[in-house]
Amino acid sequence: MTRLTDFACEPFSLDAIAQATGHVAVFVTPDGRMDQAARRADRLTRGAVRRWLESDGFAKVKPGEVKTLAYPAGLAAEALSLVVLPPRPQPIEARKAGAALGKVKARLGLSVFCGGRPRMAQLALGIALRDYGFDAHKTPPADQKPRGPVTLFHSAPDDLREALQTVLAMAEGVAFTRDLVNEPANVLTTTEFAARLAGMTSLGLKVEVLDEPELEKLGMRTLLSVGQGSASPSKVVVMRWDGGGKDAAPLALVGKGVVFDTGGISIKPAAGMEDMTMDMGGAGVVAGVMRTLALRKARANVVGLVGLVENMPSGTATRPGDVVKSMKGDTVEIINTDAEGRLVLCDVMWYAQERFKPAGLIDLATLTGAIIIGLGHENAGVFSNDDAFCEAFLKAARAEDEGAWRMPLGKAYDEMLKSRIADMKNVGGRPAGSITAAQFLGRFVKDDMPWIHLDIAGVASVTSDTTYAPKGATGWGVLALNRMIQDGYEDA
C-alpha cells in the first residue's frame, strides 16, 4: 500500500524559515499582499518574493496556484513556494492550493508556514491527495532518498493536529482505493482482494468473506455466472462499521468488483483491454469509504458489500443466450457477457436488503462505456428513485469537488429489457445504454428503498493528471460518500 506523507504540526516560528530544508511554502494574497512569513522570506531572499509580486507573471496567477522559486539565495531550502490564497479561503480553495503544493513537493520534505490561517487542514488534505504515486512494482533508483515529512507551522498547532486526524483518514481511504484500482490483475486476484479487505479488521471493521459454496446456497447465480469461466474463485465480502446507535438501520454501499474484464465470450477488442484492471473500481471505492469511516471512528452504521469476480472466456464460461436465476428469483437472459457488472450487483444488492434492512442503498460500478460518451471524465452518472436521497449525495459531491450529474430513469426504458424466454435481458441495445443498465438494477431494489446507482466508468481512472491525482486511479467517490454519511447519518 502507498505510504501517505507524514504530517507534523509545530508552533509558528519565523526563525525556522531560514533553517528549513527541502521545500518551504509561504502565503501571499491574490492582490499581492504578503503575510508575516512571506515578508520574512522576502527579506531573507533579498526581495525575491516582492519582485515576483510586481512582475507581469503574477497578474496571471489565480487563487490556489503556486509559484516555486528553485534554490532561493538566503534560505537553506532547495525551493521556496509562494501560495496564492485569500486570508480566509473557502475549503476547496485551500484544498486546491494544497494539491498544487503536493504536485511540486520536494522528496526531502515540505515546511508550510501557516501562521494563523484557517482551512489549513484542507490544505493538508490537498497535499496528501496529490502527493501520491503508485510505484509498488517499480525498482527504486539506488540513490533514492526517503520521503520527507510535511511540517505545518501554525499558531494553534494542537487544534490543527486534531483537525488533521479527520482529513488524513479521508486521504488514507482515497489512497487505499487508488492502490486497489491501480493494481494489476495478476496481483489483485479475487482472493488477494478479499484478503486485503479482511485485513481491515485491525481497524475495527467486522469483515466476512463468502465463498462460492455459500453464494450458491444463497442463490447468487447471476453473480456466479460471471466468474464461472475463471480459475479465480468468486467471492462476496461484507464489511460492517457499527459506530452509530444499536438499533439504527445502516446505510448500505454495494460495489462491483470485477478484478479483470475480458468481456467473457463476448470478448472485448484487444486495444485497451489492459485498462480493464480498473473494472473493480466500485468495490475499491466502497473499501476506501469503509476504511475512512473506521479510521475516523465515524458515529454511523454503514455496511459495505463487494462482489469479487473475474470475467474470462473458457470452456466453462457463460454463453450469450444462457438464462440464469438471480437471488431474488427473477430470470435473466444473458445477451452479452460483457454486460456482467449488473449481474454481479443485482445479487449483492438483493442480499444487502434481505440481510441488513438498510436505511438506504447506494451501488457503485464502472458499469458502462455509454456514461463516458454522455458525461466524459468530468462527472459520474447518478441515477436514483428518491429525490431527497439523491440531492443529499449531490450536495456532498459538490462540497467535496467531485463531479456528479443526475441522469433519468423511467418505465419506458423497461421495454428495451424485455426477453422472449426470461423475465428480462441483461442489455437493452446501444441507445440509452447507461439508463437501461440502471433500469435493470432498479428491478432489484425493494419498494420504498431509497436507492442511488453511481456509474463511475468515466471517473474511476483517467489518462491524464487531475487537480487532486496523477493519471491513473482517482479514488473518486470516497470523499463524497464520507461527507454524505457525516452530514446525514452520524449521531450528534
Residues known to be catalytic? 268, 342
331-333 sheet: strands from edge to edge:
323-325, 331-333, 424-425
Residues in the chain: 492
226 neighbors 311 (Cβ within 8 angstroms): yes
The grid coordinates listed for 174 are 482515497
489 neighbors 433 (Cβ within 8 angstroms): no
DSSP string, 127-138: HHHHS----TTS
Identity (one letter) of the amino acid at 415? E
User: Which are the contacts of 31, defined by CB distance < 8 A and separation ≥ 6?
Assistant: none
- Torsion angles phi and psi, residue 441, rounded to 5: -65, -35
For residue 160, the surrounding DSSP H or E stretch is: helix 157-182
Report helix, strand or coil for 126: helix
CB atoms under 10 Å from CB of 201, counted, come to 12
Among 332, 357, 348, 346, residue whose Cα is nearest residue 428 = 332
The grid coordinates listed for 415 are 421495454
- The widest CA-to-CA distance across the chain, in whole angstroms, is 81
Q: What is the dihedral of CA 317, 319, 325, 327, to 10 degrees?
A: 40
Give whole-number Cα distances, 28 to 79, 114, 244, in Å.
16, 11, 43
Q: What is the dihedral of CA 353, 356, 360, 366, to 10 degrees?
A: -60
**What does the radius of gyration of the chain's CA atoms come to, in whole angstroms?**
24
- Torsion angles phi and psi, residue 323, rounded to 5: -120, 130
CB atoms under 10 Å from CB of 488, counted, come to 17
The grid coordinates listed for 439 are 433500469
DSSP string, 269-316: PSTTGGGGGGTTHHHHHHHHHHHHHHHTT-SSEEEEEEEEEEE--STT
Pairing state of beta strands 79-84 and 380-384?
A: unpaired
Alpha helix (H) ranges present in 299-403?
A: 341-356, 370-375, 387-399
